[in-house]
Chain A
Amino acid sequence: MPAGPDAAVSITACPNGPLLVRGTFEILTPAGEVIPARRKTVALCRCGISTLKPFCDGSHKAAGFTTEPEAPTGEPA
């Protein structure tokens, strides 16, 4: 994978989708308890509507979530 070879953790920001996290990491609750990850690479929700938060469940696609900057308004194209 094209992560920096020496990074302990890499986070890939997927266009219009989740954050893919690879490497050695722990996901914690605010109280510091470990949220178990069922796989080595996880996808973290960033659209806000996953039913499996903090993990992605693909809902961003149905919701039309976009990470692209909004087109400028008020100016002629």
Chain B
Amino acid sequence: MKRPEPRGPVCSALGALLTNREPDAEPGLIGVLRDRAGAAIRDTDDILLDEDLQAALYTAYELRYSGLEGVDDAWEWNADVLALCTAIESRFEQALRDRVPMPPLPAPGIDTVAAALFELTGADTGPSVSRYLAKKATDDQAREFLIHRSVYQLKEADPHSWAIPRLRGRAKAALVEIQADEYGGGRLAHMHSELFARTMRGLGLDDTHGGYVDLVPAIVLASSNMMTMFGTHRRLRGAIAGHLAAFEMTSSLPNRQYGNGFRRLGYDQSVTFYFDEHVEADAVHEQIAARDLAGGLTEDEPALVADVVFGASACLFVDSLAGAALLTAWTAGESALRPGPEPAPALGPAGARS
């Protein structure tokens, strides 16, 4: 994808290193990056809301997904880039461990862990973007909602797929069963990221991966970065399993509301299918994820029960912060998007609006 615009000194230093063509300059650029990152990590007030650090981590992580335009793919495994990720991740994970509420831990096992996760996700009283979208959102707010979600949804399922080779037995079979459905069960047009792209086009939005990354606030990047952090560290396999379970368990009912909101605004099935599909799909996935994936993992590795619950609770915690950012702006009659270098491209609706 296009390299995200720098949001501060760490992003600028990372960009300078990744695009450097002078081998002699590299040690100096690495030194600048290390110094700036060290200072930013030490001084940040809240790493979840830190535009510079979350955007730098997002940029470095993108090397593990689709790569960055104009940047050599070899940087993915460069020791200095990995050291940057490790330094930011260490502070990021600590902030999550400090702040994510932890309910009493269930005993390891399928029934106990599934029951605990259903209780945790059922008690979630986060701000309801879905109710707002169903009842009140304007066309511009609906478009903004898609822009926020596009950061993850255009690569939907990918962060959790990292966990497949790190699991075994029942938990692995469950994850593969869910992911196969996420990727369309062999039908490209049904791949969830493709369905989301179609929804974006229906509202005249650019469906290029990363097309709107520069417009979303840090908390949206933090939500995506958290998944990549959980997914790409084997040590955190419990957390990524718990994250997926909580994500699926809080999806069916909100997606019905999202679909209703877009119908209320006059959009047809080519726009709403993504949401309607998730109502049905995630009613299946949540059972598999809570029982066989999360519960099955704790049966196989009982020591992971705390991280399964942590990952689930972290999903609810960070996504409720992201939702609150949207609702706070909307109820004040504002936008939660950052001012971009140019206005959000409006390509003209692709004809879905009736």
Contacts and interface: CB of A to CB of B under 8 A. Distances in A.
Contacts of A56: 280, 283-284
A16 B50 CA distance: 41
Nearest to A38: B280
A34 to B, nearest CB: 17
B287 A52 contact: no
A35 to B, nearest CB: 12
Contacts of A41: 177, 181, 284, 288
Contact of A17 (B190, B279, B287): B287
Contact of B256 (A12, A42, A57): A57
Given A57-B252, A58-B252, A20 B115 contact: no
A15 interface: yes
A62 B118 CA distance: 11
In which size bucket is the chain B interface? 20 to 34
B185 A58 contact: no
Interface string A51-67: 11001111101100000
In the A-B complex, the 3 residue pairs with the smallest Cβ-Cβ separation, listed nearest first, are A58-B252, A56-B283, A43-B284
Interface of B: 111, 114-115, 118, 122, 170, 173-174, 177, 180-181, 185, 190, 251-253, 256, 277, 279-284, 286-288, 291-292
Given A39-B281, A43-B280, 19 more contacts: A1-B173, A1-B177, A15-B115, A17-B287, A18-B287, A38-B277, A39-B181, A40-B177, A41-B177, A43-B284, A43-B287, A51-B256, A55-B283, A56-B284, A57-B253, A57-B279, A58-B251, A58-B286, A62-B253
